[in-house]
Structure 1
Amino acid sequence: MRRYRSFPLPGPGLPPGLPYIIGNEAAERFSYYGMRAILVVYMTQYLMDAAGRPDTMSETQAQAYFHLFVSATYFTPLLGALLADGFLGKYRTIILLSLVYCAGHLALAMDDTRSGILVGQALIAFGAGGIKPCVSSHVGDQFSVHNRHLLERVYGWFYLAINLGALVSMLVTPWLLVRFGAAVAFGVPGVLMAVATTLFWLGRWQFAHVPPAGLGVLREALQARELSRLGQLVVLYGLIAIFWSLFDQTGSSWVLQAAKLDREIAGHEILPSQIQAANPLLILLLVPLFGRVVYPALERWMSLTSLRKIGLGMALAAASFAVVAMIQNAVDHGARPSIAWQLLAYLLLTSAEVMVSVTGLEFAYTQAPLTMKSLVMAFYMASVALGNVFTSGINFLISTPDGGSRLAGAAYFWFFCVLMAVTVLVFAAYARRYRAGSYLQPDRADA
């Protein structure tokens, strides 16, 4: 059997396996965000029972189940990380769980009942979630101390690939749902996931592969020094979780709000689910803008550390929810504001995402000890899960027996706005005491 290389190739250039990773990520993100974009609409308008009768959910129930699914997708990275770092290695874990991921799309496409959505979402949560920490840390594994200066740029490309796939899928999949029905709308993302898996398999001999550490990864995690490092990161990630409790509502409460707005743009009425495409489109524009203009401008006023970027981004997230709260206040009093106001909120929230998520990916990788890259990435992603569990719990808590809400209208959005503002203050206080480290793979000659 042909052996994999254990460490990145020496030299200052770009890794040879990078095109396969970027292509895989673009196709996989199409599959995930396309499926996710239509979930709330599907649950409130398309679900059937076994006899073929409508069996839809209320808006509050759909929001709760949507965030429960997202939280599951971001908790399972812990399992994927243990498989990758401890036993199978990243490449084999990604291939195996990608097949599970494809099966989840198939279940959604073939069964439009609550049982079908339960099975499909469970498989996707395990597959998509399990590969998340492996793919992002696999990118970092392609680098060493000699080409580390390219790591930030490549993580930017990686994030652009994510959002290019998301942009196309968020425009196409809602249209497929309306035009051809749920089977096609869920089936097309399944095909793209199969393409993503194939692309990753084709690049197998171009990748640098860091061998799994076996049970040693758990022993290392239990050492006092590493427990201390993980403990500091867990506190940070717990605070960042509140950001994700707001951000992922673009797929739930913001979609439901969009249905109540004037959605005509340039003489064409867009679907409520399609407005989510504003986020990846803005990412494509804002990532280079922040790198070349915004960050250099801010550097003239302050030392712009990773944690300061994240804190500023969290403040922008609070501002975005203030905007949607004001939009909802107008809706609550008989008005029908233009969707352009929600686009302003998307601009603020996407700017926040650039500062929190792009920075957070690189920060999580560099803070992780060498044999625990996937595990620390999984803890970072667990913050997304925790935020969505919180949002799901709030929606279950405020749901009334008749399908209504105890925290209705603008009050719902103001609650999250204030929560985020308070979290920013706590985060800023904690970040001042955090001591950052840096762990990167050595070259073969340095090992």
Structure 2
Amino acid sequence: MEKYVPEKDERAPSAADTTALPTSSNERTPSMILEDLSDSGRPATEEEIKTLRHVTDQIPLRVWLVAIIAAAERFTYWSTQVTWQNYIQYRPDDEIPGILGLGQATAVTVNNAFNVVVYLLPLIIGPIADGKLGRYRTLQICTAFYLAGTCILLGCSTTPAVEAGAALPGFVVALCLTSIGLGGVQTVTTPLIADQYDETVAKIAYRKNGERVVIDRDMTIHYVYSIYYWMANAASLGMILTSLLEKYISFWGAYTLTTGVLLLSVFILWFGKPYFVLCAPSGTVIPRAFRVLWIATTSKFKLDAALPEKQLECGHEVPWDARFVKDIGSGLMAVKVCLAWPILRLCVGITSSNSIAQAGQMQTGGVPNDLLMASNAIALVLIGLVVENGLYPFLEKHRIPFREMARIATGLFFMAVSMAYGMIVQALIYKAPPCYNFPLECQGSDGRIITEPNHINVLVQLPLYILVAVSEVFAFVTGSAYAYKKAPPNMKSVLQSFYASMSGVGYLLAVALGPASKNPGLVVLWGSVTGVMGLTAMDNGQTRKDPVWHGPFAHDVPNSISAFMSQYSALSLIRGLTSRTCTYELKGVNFAYLPLARPHAVENSQPSQKALSPGLSDPASDNVHDRPSGTLDIPEGYISTGNYIPNHNIVPTSALR
């Protein structure tokens, strides 16, 4: 993603300067023009927003501080949890050393149950953060819980504690404290990092070559979340260190490192408060929000039935205004995006637990079986950099739309592919000797259990982690930014908590599948998850009312909740990227226009009344057929191939060349 870096003493060039830069040595050079810039930093006009290229702003230091806090938390989380599969599954004297010796199915179930609690607790913590304590205070308290849990886990993993039988009860207590801490930290850090960028108005800026651009808040927020995920995933590479410490020292050595890194968050939270933008708690809005939704539900799912003027007509006075109802509608748009998250997180849960056990069934060449999972974090960092600094700027430069819904749909598609690959790897394991369908469990000719892994190299698992990384780059980064953008100001943590809770549902599904995580049924398990993820990717619960593309007919809030039920295929979104046709729906009527040309007006023909969708006769609306003749303005950068016709997609000019 290209960022704008302001130059010192920049002022705006004259109109002549912007149209043609001087070429003669006696004329003013671009660097001389830049010295005379005068309107850099002023609010952009609507025309400038439509016509000029958009870029991201500089990132404030306080954003990086929150990112460091999040990175320390993610380092501790991943570096600790990556050891738990072995910690729970194996005994100290097994071929792969562990602590508790409870078996693979139990280990998978415990891991996923922990994630269920972590991702469902935000439903409680989110409203408290927004309405009572504030996000910063909530973050301080939850970090203290998290630190206490990691300290107890460190203590119960030492040799004297294990020999005294304190490992299991200590582990349970550590899980409880850690889950509370993690649930709160991830609830508030996600909105808190976006709070640190407090510019709300699009502004004019000038690049070094004299190009006038618009600093775009939405693009900057997306870039902030990209930084958040880059640093979080870079920090998760700490699992390499803890895997090695687990193998060559012991579990207590690994947990000493994670505890020390978490202390960095405590240090920043203790001394960094004056540097942060803090949002005061605004009082809980949950009761009012539920009341608005109840009114809408009992009014045939009409959200505008909850408007104050509508309620006044019915003789009811309500304690909210029209803006609050619109905010609820906007929040519902963010909720809608999260409906695919349970299946997405189910796949992540399968990857983070079953894939470690799967690696243990293959030949690792002396490398810890949980170390290869670090390739997922490496791929996330590298792919994230390529996508943000290569793919997105390329698409923006060539006017190829690839907005939020298309990105999420792409992420779902890659997750389905990754699960299919995991199934293939498991099938290859079952076809390899010496134990075939029962790796590490079969009996030899002498009656002893063969502990040798099947003869297949663990590197065949590598593409699985890369495919999952591609999915996460497109789905999770975009989902977080979209949820923050759509959430009302006093419900940021609440919306993020719902976002997290959908992930909790996914991990709950993984818990239900835990008993199936055993040989010889693992191929069926991977295959079932592949099928469900594939169906989710093909029929993702999004709506055309929340447009994939930006444009003049885009409406952020539909007039009815029932609009959320209209669904479109993720595959159709991907096909739409190749056609480069931007399609809009305005109250049931589809329009399309193409990015390419300067703005102009086209004649609007009289559509046949038979072609109109029912319920489109509102005289106050902006529908084309409410104005049987006249013109429509086509926005900057788009061209029409003819009259706007209801339910008709205009063919892109690229297809006519």
The match for 1:136 is: 190
Q: Structure 2: how far apart are the matches of 1:38 and 1:372?
A: 36
**Do the aligned partners of residues 91 and 414 (structure 1) sit closer, same or farther apart at CA in structure 2, a change above 3 Å counting?**
same
Asked whether 1:382 is paired with 2:501, we answer yes
The 5 Å alignment of 1:48-197 reads: 55-112=100-157, 113-143=167-197, 144-146=199-201, 148=217, 149-167=219-237, 169-197=238-266
The match for 2:402 is: 304
Letter in 2 for 1:98: T
Aligned-residue offset at 1:309: 0.8
Q: Structure 2: how far apart are the matches of 1:211 and 1:222?
A: 24
Q: Structure 2: how far apart are the matches of 1:192 and 1:17?
A: 19
The match for 2:275 is: 206
The match for 2:491 is: 372
Aligned-residue offset at 1:418: 0.7
Aligned-residue offset at 1:409: 2.7
Residue range with higher mean Cα deviation, 207-216 or 299-308:
299-308
Asked whether 1:395 is paired with 2:514, we answer yes
Q: Structure 1: how far apart are the matches of 2:243 and 2:357?
A: 14
Partner residue of 1:32 out of 57, 61, 77: 77
Partner residue of 2:525 out of 401, 409, 412: 412
The match for 2:544 is: 432
The match for 1:421 is: 534
**Do the aligned partners of residues 151 and 232 (structure 1) sit closer, same or farther apart at CA in structure 2, a change above 3 Å counting?**
closer
Asked whether 1:283 is paired with 2:380, we answer yes
The match for 2:356 is: 255
Alignment gaps of 5+ in structure 1: 1-9, 439-447
The C-alpha deviation readout for 1:317-337, integer Å capped at 9, x for no partner, is: 111111111111111122533
Aligned-residue offset at 1:156: 1.3
Q: Structure 2: how far apart are the matches of 1:281 and 1:254?
A: 17
Q: Structure 1: how far apart are the matches of 2:361 and 2:271?
A: 46
Aligned-residue offset at 1:296: 5.5
2:363–2:458 CA contact under 8 A, matched in 1: yes
TM-score (norm 1): 0.86
The C-alpha deviation readout for 1:77-122, integer Å capped at 9, x for no partner, is: 2222122101111111101110000011112112252222211111
**Do the aligned partners of residues 54 and 173 (structure 1) sit closer, same or farther apart at CA in structure 2, a change above 3 Å counting?**
closer
**Do the aligned partners of residues 131 and 14 (structure 1) sit closer, same or farther apart at CA in structure 2, a change above 3 Å counting?**
same
Aligned-residue offset at 1:291: 2.1
The 5 Å alignment of 1:2-17 reads: 13-17=58-62
**Do the aligned partners of residues 46 and 434 (structure 1) sit closer, same or farther apart at CA in structure 2, a change above 3 Å counting?**
farther
Aligned-residue offset at 1:54: 6.5
Alignment gaps of 5+ in structure 2: 1-41, 44-56, 158-166, 202-214, 294-324, 434-454, 548-554, 558-657
The C-alpha deviation readout for 1:295-340, integer Å capped at 9, x for no partner, is: 4566769632211111111111111111111111111122533222
Q: Structure 2: how far apart are the matches of 1:241 and 1:363?
A: 17
Q: Structure 1: how far apart are the matches of 2:534 and 2:394?
A: 24
Aligned-residue offset at 1:183: 2.2
**Do the aligned partners of residues 244 and 160 (structure 1) sit closer, same or farther apart at CA in structure 2, a change above 3 Å counting?**
same
Aligned-residue offset at 1:217: 5.2
Aligned-residue offset at 1:223: 3.0
**Do the aligned partners of residues 274 and 431 (structure 1) sit closer, same or farther apart at CA in structure 2, a change above 3 Å counting?**
farther
Q: Structure 2: how far apart are the matches of 1:367 and 1:257?
A: 40
Asked whether 1:18 is paired with 2:63, we answer yes
Residue range with higher mean Cα deviation, 360-369 or 334-343:
334-343
2:90–2:103 CA contact under 8 A, matched in 1: no
Partner residue of 2:340 out of 239, 256, 260: 239
Q: Structure 1: how far apart are the matches of 2:248 and 2:88?
A: 17
1:260–1:331 CA contact under 8 A, matched in 2: yes
Letter in 2 for 1:393: A
**Do the aligned partners of residues 316 and 54 (structure 1) sit closer, same or farther apart at CA in structure 2, a change above 3 Å counting?**
closer
Q: Structure 2: how far apart are the matches of 1:55 and 1:160?
A: 34
Aligned length: 413
What value does the CA root-mean-square deviation take over the aligned residues? 2.5
The match for 1:443 is: none
**Do the aligned partners of residues 161 and 246 (structure 1) sit closer, same or farther apart at CA in structure 2, a change above 3 Å counting?**
same
**Do the aligned partners of residues 321 and 298 (structure 1) sit closer, same or farther apart at CA in structure 2, a change above 3 Å counting?**
farther
Q: Structure 2: how far apart are the matches of 1:116 and 1:250?
A: 27
1:20–1:202 CA contact under 8 A, matched in 2: no
The match for 1:6 is: none
Q: If you compute each CA radius of gyration, which structure gives the higher value, 1 or 2?
A: 2
1:327–1:341 CA contact under 8 A, matched in 2: yes
Partner residue of 2:460 out of 324, 336, 341: 341
Q: Structure 2: how far apart are the matches of 1:188 and 1:423?
A: 39
Aligned-residue offset at 1:19: 3.0
The match for 2:631 is: none
**Do the aligned partners of residues 209 and 222 (structure 1) sit closer, same or farther apart at CA in structure 2, a change above 3 Å counting?**
farther
Q: Structure 2: how far apart are the matches of 1:297 and 1:195?
A: 37
1:21–1:139 CA contact under 8 A, matched in 2: yes
Residue range with higher mean Cα deviation, 369-378 or 11-20:
11-20
TM-score (norm 2): 0.59
Q: Structure 2: how far apart are the matches of 1:119 and 1:22?
A: 28
Residue range with higher mean Cα deviation, 234-243 or 274-283:
234-243
Asked whether 1:354 is paired with 2:473, we answer yes
Residue range with higher mean Cα deviation, 143-152 or 108-117:
143-152
Letter in 2 for 1:115: P
**Do the aligned partners of residues 182 and 239 (structure 1) sit closer, same or farther apart at CA in structure 2, a change above 3 Å counting?**
same
SS of aligned partner of 1:287: helix
Aligned-residue offset at 1:201: 2.4
Aligned-residue offset at 1:198: 1.1
**Do the aligned partners of residues 430 and 215 (structure 1) sit closer, same or farther apart at CA in structure 2, a change above 3 Å counting?**
closer
Partner residue of 1:321 out of 419, 437, 441: 419
Letter in 2 for 1:338: N
Letter in 2 for 1:420: M
Q: Structure 1: how far apart are the matches of 2:354 and 2:405?
A: 28
**Do the aligned partners of residues 54 and 139 (structure 1) sit closer, same or farther apart at CA in structure 2, a change above 3 Å counting?**
closer
Aligned-residue offset at 1:341: 1.9
Residue range with higher mean Cα deviation, 216-225 or 191-200:
216-225
Q: Structure 2: how far apart are the matches of 1:193 and 1:222?
A: 41
**Do the aligned partners of residues 220 and 319 (structure 1) sit closer, same or farther apart at CA in structure 2, a change above 3 Å counting?**
same
Letter in 2 for 1:145: T
